Structure 1
């Protein structure tokens, strides 16, 4: 396979085909649940047809073959030749997987692997009608694919000349059929100009001779609309040999061929002096050529043509300008980085202005603050994508798992238009897949079990997204069996994850979070779906890396709900700036619950761990200067400082710091290569006073220095 084509053309194909293939997965699952939806059938057919056309233009033969096979099946389905069945959808989804693999190879500029011959044979077999209606089935799939029947909704389109801008592929192919087929109909007698059926001997050739095309133009533009008079015209008006055609004439031609105006029989090349019989009721569309002697009854003809004048070149004006432009995401990242630098300068100026009394300077800096904030919001918006790009894969995931596990499950999606940062969309894909698979495998019961429990046989999995301030809330909810906290505790004790004393003190919500512990699994038998105890641990680790949190609610026998909360963007991070010794650190503000003054009277030791009572609940307490400074300051006072309470899922942890600086928006800068991987450090930033502060990664910090609390 060669990619010696224009790069712009290839990129256009990759973008268009990529969007279509993303939609097809969800559309196919929806069609299986609603097999009588003709609009959906036609949309899927057009999707495969469009991808095939683009691939054919680029000579991607392997991709063309697979798309062609799937296209033929859907042409048979929409013509009533077959019915949508789960077995048929299994083959089509397998074909879609193959198309996606081939498309990925094109994206990577690699050679494609041809589809499995057995798959192509299965598609060919399914494209043949089975239990077909006598008048709708066709036994030539390739002919159907090249000239599909007009769609019902397209036949009902309003008949106006302006409709040329809304012509579908099927209508255009029908137009070509009219041009290529009936053009060779035998010349009718002048005395019998009524329409006739095409001759059975009509040529099937795709080529028209010059004489046939001129005859077509003569009939539709000149001979058809000739004024009703007996004097022979010296020359057809307008002449078919004229190379220029007005908008009105072209639209009249399309009207005649497209069905908006009943066409007259197409004759062969006219004789030099045709003498058509006058017909009083003959509908005519003469060109704007005044006839002084024309009878008044011929005047309504221009009125019938009036609609075709509205979209003419004089009335349409200039075409609308392009409103979109394709930009490389790396360019957007560079712009976002520069905006981040501008935010840092803004912060610096705000701090300097607080120490001066210059009113004019204060006004200028305040204006800069507003403009910078607006610019930051606008640039962030360009990086936003709807979470639909992630949600779109789940109908297929749930459908395949349900068939594999012999379960009956319905998936509901809400908030698909919720926007969040492009990087977050990509980062959330795998965690959400794990959670949805977990709901299907562990949550939803078998149909017979549900029926015995008084539930519908079909289980429900609901995936939703919404924006809450500067965060996105995602939830995965099912109406399955729910979780038993006591069973979870016993499994954790048996696997050595938890000791009995800690288990006895655990609340139900804390017990639910045991599923995120490394190596924890409720499955006794390992399968290709679950049972290895790594999925949920990966989920929590990934969400923590995104500065997000996970919360679980469950009720035994009723179902489970998981909530994920992540920031809108990772580029600019709201933080709480603190000081430990002489060094500044930044804590992600999203994880900060509250700040209280240190009071040794409220502290106590539990199992050797220093704790502090906060609203009748003991939380573990850690002095950051012991972890981060490595050496104990000479004037260290354990009763001084402030306690910053942070949340980790359902757990609360208190960090003792020496001083509070304040809230600040920072731009995350990656650590140098020598410092990358430092435990507890997510990056660095420049503070408003021009210094450098390290951004703390709270989960990683606890894993390094307080491992006994990692899995709690």
Structure 2
């Protein structure tokens, strides 16, 4: 007899999907409470989650979803309407269910009595409620093909069962049915095979041949006693039919087994830890490939050229395949934002519409996990600081409902995520005054800032213009955290704003953080890598073009005053002293800075090896290291903390 624990992971995944469907449906019903299609989606999600939970033995979850189902059933029968109070209660129920589903075995510790009472209040319309359903706990039946049965003493029936279209845990339902049938007789045969039924490898229809002393009515009743049954068809079988069926089964056994074996390997579930290990191994392979190619070039081993070309191609293909297996759609984090924006807007007394696009764009799972919190903060800022109150928007001649657009798109090896609102925009003057008030700069320094530079003040640690502290924002932990996270991922962030029109924040992220494209440079005898996402351009300048303003070296280029940093000075490396200088222009927080180097080697994909924080604790400016083709180690510069 199989243990129910094998279905726990399946239950968690399916339950999360149904709860997401409920959230989406409630957000739609809040705008259009009479939409019958959305009402049915809500009802089916509650019904299915109830059945799943009851089957798994999670009675508290089943009870709460059963009452939610009753409420939605009344709504779809036009016996009541969903007003704002009812929708608020349904949102609370979904929130509670999300917590319960996280640890379903402990779900009974949640007090759901107040929620059940509030549902009951909505149901006091005098219409009789459906009887409480009988919940059946899942228990797999290990049915073997039975030989030597006494057909003279028993009736033989072929029972065809059709599960309801809303049934998710097909194998669990079928296991309950087969167990119940086995209590009335012997199961001779199932179609498809018992293993395929156990693995859920059938549509919604399966059949069982049963030898029993009971009549067909008793068999039909016990099958129909199980939840989520759409149809039951029972036919008696004669001796000839049984023998014919056995011959056909024997004839097709090998073919059926082969087909089953092919199906069994179509997909597998792989943990992210194993994918991380594969990525590390392919990284080592790439490093050794580069080393071999370097040795062949150094020693002019032309006879290895074809073999190394083939190795290079195969390694690149393997690298791309491993990266592809780690990719997941960005909608996995986008999906949680509509509800969040709705709740924040309601708390602030604002009307906000969230428009999302590009959810099918894929990102490395590691990047996706890291970008979730920054996006949450950006959207909270949009709601709290960006979108005005309905009264303020009305005075400005705007639509009372604010709009936030969250979109993702692919550009070469990067994903661009934009958060754009049509709110009040950011006031550069107010930002300058805040910087002076906080003692971050003098009045004279603030007055010299361009509007673009003033907007970038918001990236400074602890900077905030919030006049009041709320639980949404204004605690001095803000855009600097977002920028730091983006730069740690090898990405960047840009801020654009128009007074009275709105604000746009653009995040640029690499598809993966394990392998990044970098610009390789030399300073003295040392080689360094700069993530290409930070690089704007490189340029050649003469030494006499450098000017000093307030103790800082700058150069005027293309109408821009460009601050420059000498890596020689920063790292304590001897300069070559040449009058001709190479400057790599990098972007940091929306501003450009020039880095003086001795040589630009070119672009190259590098494998990132994380630095040991115990050894390099407190040392900033480096994102990691990589191994070059000659076997030497090159440090990867972290522009965000270096400058």
Establish whether TM, by shorter chain, passes 0.5.
Answer: yes
| Correspondent of 1:125 among 117, 121, 124 | 121
Runs of 5+ unmatched residues, structure 2: 137-159, 177-211, 222-233, 246-254
- Are 2:432 and 1:489 equivalent residues in the alignment? yes
Between 676-685 and 331-340, report the one with greater CA deviation. Answer: 676-685
Distance 1:599 1:73 in 2: 77
| Correspondent of 2:582 among 642, 649, 657 | 642
Give the aligned partner of residue 633 of structure 2: 692
Distance 2:477 2:241 in 1: 71
Give the CA deviation at 1:26: 2.6
TM-score (normalizing by structure 2): 0.79
Give the CA deviation at 1:20: 2.8
| 1:7–1:639 CA distance, 2 compared to 1 (3 A) | farther
| 1:238–1:546 CA distance, 2 compared to 1 (3 A) | closer
| 1:411–1:209 CA distance, 2 compared to 1 (3 A) | farther
Distance 2:642 2:165 in 1: 61
Q: Is contact 1:475-1:563 (8 Å) kept?
A: yes
Give the aligned partner of residue 41 of structure 1: 39
Q: Is contact 1:479-1:559 (8 Å) kept?
A: yes
TM-score (normalizing by structure 1): 0.72
Distance 1:246 1:677 in 2: 80
Give the CA deviation at 1:331: 0.7
| 1:115–1:80 CA distance, 2 compared to 1 (3 A) | farther
- Are 2:608 and 1:668 equivalent residues in the alignment? yes
Cα deviations by residue, 1:442-471 (Å, 9 ceiling, x for unpaired) = 111121222222211111111100001111
Distance 2:502 2:161 in 1: 52
| Correspondent of 1:462 among 402, 405, 410 | 405
Distance 1:441 1:144 in 2: 48
Distance 1:618 1:79 in 2: 69
Match runs of 1:20-99 below 5 Å: 20-99=18-97
Give the aligned partner of residue 293 of structure 1: none
Give the CA deviation at 1:515: 1.9
Give the CA deviation at 1:580: 2.4
Cα deviations by residue, 1:343-385 (Å, 9 ceiling, x for unpaired) = 1122223323434555442122122222222221111111111
Q: Is contact 1:98-1:115 (8 Å) kept?
A: no
Between 674-683 and 442-451, report the one with greater CA deviation. Answer: 674-683
Distance 1:13 1:451 in 2: 48
Distance 1:143 1:214 in 2: 20
Match runs of 1:144-543 below 5 Å: 167-169=165-167, 210-211=214-215, 213=217, 239=236, 318=259, 321-322=263-264, 323-355=266-298, 357-543=300-486
Distance 1:163 1:613 in 2: 80
Give the CA deviation at 1:419: 0.6
| 1:505–1:216 CA distance, 2 compared to 1 (3 A) | closer
Q: Is contact 2:54-2:135 (8 Å) kept?
A: no
Q: Secondary structure at the match of 1:587?
A: strand
Distance 2:135 2:77 in 1: 11
| 1:168–1:620 CA distance, 2 compared to 1 (3 A) | closer
| 1:210–1:576 CA distance, 2 compared to 1 (3 A) | same
Give the CA deviation at 1:505: 2.4
Q: Is contact 2:524-2:576 (8 Å) kept?
A: no
Cα deviations by residue, 1:475-512 (Å, 9 ceiling, x for unpaired) = 11111111221122112211222322332222222222
Distance 2:220 2:51 in 1: 29
Greater strand fraction, Structure 1 or Structure 2: 2
Distance 2:550 2:585 in 1: 20
Cα deviations by residue, 1:99-130 (Å, 9 ceiling, x for unpaired) = 11122234xx767631342122113333x264
Q: Is contact 2:556-2:562 (8 Å) kept?
A: yes
Distance 1:45 1:145 in 2: 18
Q: Secondary structure at the match of 2:115?
A: helix
Q: Secondary structure at the match of 1:321?
A: helix
Distance 1:698 1:330 in 2: 29
Q: Is contact 1:66-1:115 (8 Å) kept?
A: no
Distance 1:592 1:38 in 2: 53
Distance 2:128 2:134 in 1: 7
Q: Secondary structure at the match of 1:354?
A: helix
Cα deviations by residue, 1:309-334 (Å, 9 ceiling, x for unpaired) = xxxxx99x956725321111111111
Give the CA deviation at 1:166: 7.5
Between 603-612 and 555-564, report the one with greater CA deviation. Answer: 555-564
Give the CA deviation at 1:36: 2.9
| 1:458–1:416 CA distance, 2 compared to 1 (3 A) | same
Q: Is contact 1:129-1:139 (8 Å) kept?
A: no
Q: Is contact 2:459-2:589 (8 Å) kept?
A: no
Cα deviations by residue, 1:26-48 (Å, 9 ceiling, x for unpaired) = 33212322323333322333323
Give the CA deviation at 1:6: 4.6
| 1:64–1:600 CA distance, 2 compared to 1 (3 A) | same
Runs of 5+ unmatched residues, structure 1: 147-161, 177-207, 218-236, 249-313, 703-712
Q: Secondary structure at the match of 1:622?
A: strand
Cα deviations by residue, 1:69-105 (Å, 9 ceiling, x for unpaired) = 3233222222223222222121111111111112223
Q: Is contact 2:386-2:502 (8 Å) kept?
A: yes
Distance 2:36 2:161 in 1: 22
- Are 2:593 and 1:653 equivalent residues in the alignment? yes
Give the aligned partner of residue 159 of structure 1: none
Distance 1:485 1:608 in 2: 26
Give the aligned partner of residue 139 of structure 1: 129
Between 379-388 and 608-617, report the one with greater CA deviation. Answer: 608-617
| 1:247–1:437 CA distance, 2 compared to 1 (3 A) | farther
Q: Secondary structure at the match of 1:524?
A: coil
Distance 1:685 1:498 in 2: 39
Q: Is contact 2:419-2:505 (8 Å) kept?
A: yes
Give the aligned partner of residue 309 of structure 1: none
Between 620-629 and 561-570, report the one with greater CA deviation. Answer: 620-629
Cα deviations by residue, 1:148-197 (Å, 9 ceiling, x for unpaired) = xxxxxxxxxxxxxx995884459x99xx9xxxxxxxxxxxxxxxxxxxxx
